[in-house]
Chains A and B, each alone.
Chain A
Amino acid sequence: DVKVTQSSRYLVKRTGEKVFLECVQDMDHENMFWYRQDPGLGLRLIYFSYDVKMKEKGDIPEGYSVSREKKERFSLILESASTNQTSMYLCASSFYRSGLGTGEQYFGPGTRLTVT
């Protein structure tokens, strides 16, 4: 079974703090993703990575950065947390096959972050 784990289920941080969200997958997937999910807005892609040390901006990268030093680990960093970053954060991983496009994504359980 593919397993994607996230470092925390619930997190409470103060405005201005630097926040690290960690994600680890055990299936040797090339691709890893960070989303945020807000009521009425669905899932929005923040950043993704298709290889170690490679990253690409998603739809809403502002205020976030990422790090992928090892294939199995993808970190999301909030440089200076703000209240509008209160959200559910979901990490996912997938393989990629030429001709098929991106395969199914395997999601972690999510981190509900509250910034006060």
Chain B
Amino acid sequence: SQQGEEDPQALSIQEGENATMNCSYKTSINNLQWYRQNSGRGLVHLILIRSNEREKHSGRLRVTLDTSKKSSSLLITASRAADTASYFCATAAGGGSNYKLTFGKGTLLTVNP
């Protein structure tokens, strides 16, 4: 079952602009993670935010988490052509079976040079 849902499904911007992607989920979580996937490759972990955190930064990435709204956003600042990829959010559920992540369907980001 898919818990995380990214929005928009696709985003096209110019180099240098900021890109914002959103993720909504349905049940309580221990943490939420964002991943990047370049075409035809495996996923690469970008950032993890715990349920008791509200904001986290890593380089040009900024992630926010609002557990009351069950939503998260990923902001990429000063985008580059190399940021072109699909971006996925994934939730680690709270409670029992918390070994696994549930991934959304992703946002395809295209950064035009």
Contact = CB atoms under 8 A, between A and B. Distances in A.
A46 B44 CA distance: 19
A58 B103 contact: no
Identify whether the interface residues of B are mostly helix, strand, loop, or mixed: strand
Interface residues of A, number: 31
A110 B43 CA distance: 9
A107 B103 contact: no
Interface of B: 1-2, 29-31, 33, 35, 40-45, 48, 50, 88, 90, 92-94, 97-106
Interface of A: 4, 31, 33, 35, 40-43, 45, 48, 50, 56, 58-59, 88, 90, 92, 96, 99-110, 112
Given A41-B105, A42-B2, A105-B45, 19 more contacts: A31-B99, A33-B100, A42-B88, A42-B105, A50-B99, A56-B99, A90-B43, A92-B43, A96-B98, A100-B30, A101-B30, A101-B93, A102-B100, A104-B33, A105-B35, A105-B43, A105-B101, A108-B42, A109-B42
A100 B44 contact: no
Contact of A103 (B35, B48, B88, B97): B48
Enumerate the 3 nearest inter-chain pairs by beta-carbon distance, A residue then B residue, closest first. A101-B30, A107-B42, A42-B105
B91 to A, nearest CB: 9
B24 to A, nearest CB: 14
Contacts of A112: 40
Nearest to A110: B42
